[in-house]
């Protein structure tokens, strides 16, 4: 037990170190974005004096290291600052400053929308991929197995935006079953929110189901040649019982790992899908922020994506350790 706890603590320490390095990369990459926000907000009438005044008000004139440490310390407490686009420069520091919306206030509802989209996609993709993977292993080299492999390879090879437009064409234009745009607002019921989210969720489902199905199939087929599986067959057990009861539990470690990694993708890889469907999530907010060079919002969105991805990767490692006796009891 102590060895398992030690391994988990090491994974957590490496995760924190990775997040620290990623935060440095994010900050430097945002700083390298072309253009200047002060000049962009002032437009063609920007004068050197006005640009310098705005940069001083926003703290952009301070040294890079000081701004990074200040941003990192504030982000650690959940304070990502104030969106540049929300600032009223004419009344900055006066009464108008009290009406400014913080970055956390802007991200919070968007992050909930992104989590809801990822949860809907996961609720469809995980059981579907496990069922198809088990059936493909059960009927190996059959017509079903070949069709499933061709379909998953096609899904993996197709870009997300292409899959999205194909589904929009067939499910929203030719057959108006689902809305083509995801109009999400606060007062929607669960059914309304689910209906508006279903089409982008189906796109994400098609993308991640292929990976999870192929991993499930490969893990089970790999175990079918094991001696204990041969013994189970010699005892007269049915093929379904051999796979579901004997092979599947021992194949959980790689399956759990790939599921957790695909869940990480569902949270962090939704940018393209959210833009296509104009879904009000963090991905759409990130793209809009990059367009206007809103530095605090861009940094916050990138850091949230990185933290979510690292956290789910850590979860995959921990669950793989707990589900694998060889890792729980290393020699």
Most confident of 26-35, 57-66, 166-175, 289-298: 166-175
Q: What are the structural domains, with CATH classification, of the chain?
A: 2-103 (no CATH), 104-328 (1.10.3720.10)
DSSP letter for each residue of 85-127: GG--TTSTTSGGGGGPPBHHHHHHHHHHHHHHHHHHHHHHHHH
Mean pLDDT of 91-115: 71
Q: Please report the pLDDT score of residue 88 as a whole number.
A: 47
- Site of tokens 């920007």: 46
Token representation of residue 24: 């440095």
Residue 2 predicted with pLDDT over 80 = no
Task: Find out whether 203 and 155 touch, Cβ atoms under 8 Å.
Answer: no
Residue 90 predicted with pLDDT over 50 = no
Token representation of residue 63: 């040294």
Between the alpha carbon of residue 157 and those of residues 130, 154, 161, 162, 206, the distances in Å are 20, 5, 12, 10, 11
Q: Please report the pLDDT score of residue 311 as a whole number.
A: 86
The Cα 193–Cα 279 span in angstroms is 11
Mean pLDDT of 257-268: 79
pLDDT digits (tens, 9 = 90+) for 166-218: 888 888 888 888 888 888 877 888 888 888 888 999 988 888 888 888 888 88
Mean pLDDT of 231-247: 78
Residue 324 predicted with pLDDT over 70 = no
Residue 165 predicted with pLDDT over 60 = yes
Q: Please report the pLDDT score of residue 330 as a whole number.
A: 55
The Cα 320–Cα 314 span in angstroms is 10
Lowest mean pLDDT among 118-132, 133-147, 188-202, 312-326: 312-326
Q: Please report the pLDDT score of residue 95 as a whole number.
A: 46
- Site of tokens 């990459």: 29
Residue 331 predicted with pLDDT over 60 = no
Q: What is the mean pLDDT of the chain?
A: 80
DSSP letter for each residue of 56-84: HHHTTTS-HHHHHHHHHHHHHTT---B-G
Nearest to 261 by CA among 196, 323, 303, 207: 207
Instruction: Let me know the angle formed at the C-alpha of 44 by 41 and 47, rounded to the nearest 5 degrees.
Output: 80
Angle between helical axes of 252-268 and 190-223 (0-180°, round to 10): 150
- Could you give phi then psi for residue 82, rounded to 5 degrees? -115, 135
pTM score, whole prediction: 0.80
Q: Please report the pLDDT score of residue 252 as a whole number.
A: 74
Q: Please report the pLDDT score of residue 89 as a whole number.
A: 45
- Could you give phi then psi for residue 102, rounded to 5 degrees? -75, 165
């Amino acid at each position: 037990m102590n060895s398992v706890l030690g391994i988990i603590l090491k994974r957590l320490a490496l995760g924190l170190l990775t997040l620290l390095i990623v935060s440095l990369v994010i900050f430097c990459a945002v700083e390298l974005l072309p253009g200047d926000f002060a000049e962009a907000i002032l437009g063609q009438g920007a004068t050197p004096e006005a640009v310098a005044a705005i940069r001083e008000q926003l703290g952009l004139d301070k040294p890079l290291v000081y701004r990074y440490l200040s941003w990192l310390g504030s982000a650690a407490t959940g304070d990502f600052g104030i969106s540049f686009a929300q600032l009223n420069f004419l009344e900055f520091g006066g009464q108008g400053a009290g009406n400014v919306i913080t970055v956390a206030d802007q991200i919070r509802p968007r992050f909930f929308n992104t989590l809801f989209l990822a949860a809907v996609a996961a609720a469809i993709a995980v059981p579907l991929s496990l069922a198809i993977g088990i059936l493909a292993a059960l009927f190996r080299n059959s017509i079903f197995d070949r069709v499933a492999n061709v379909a998953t390879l096609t899904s993996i090879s197709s870009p997300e935006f292409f899959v999205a437009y194909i589904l929009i064409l067939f499910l929203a234009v030719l057959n108006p079953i689902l809305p083509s745009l995801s109009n999400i607002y606060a007062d929607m019921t669960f059914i309304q929110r689910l209906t508006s989210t279903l089409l982008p969720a189906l796109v994400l489902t098609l993308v991640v189901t292929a990976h999870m199905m192929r991993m499930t199939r490969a893990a089970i087929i790999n175990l079918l040649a094991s001696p204990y599986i041969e013994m189970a067959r010699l005892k007269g057990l049915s093929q379904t019982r051999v796979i579901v009861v004997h092979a599947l539990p021992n194949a959980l470690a790689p399956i759990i790992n790939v599921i957790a990694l695909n869940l990480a993708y569902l949270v962090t890889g939704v940018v393209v899908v959210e833009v296509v469907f104009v879904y009000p999530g963090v991905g759409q907010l990130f793209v809009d922020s990059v367009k206007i060079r809103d530095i605090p919002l861009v940094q916050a969105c990138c850091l949230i994506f990185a933290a979510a991805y690292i956290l789910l990767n850590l979860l995959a490692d921990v669950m793989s350790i707990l589900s694998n006796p060889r890792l729980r009891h290393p020699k």
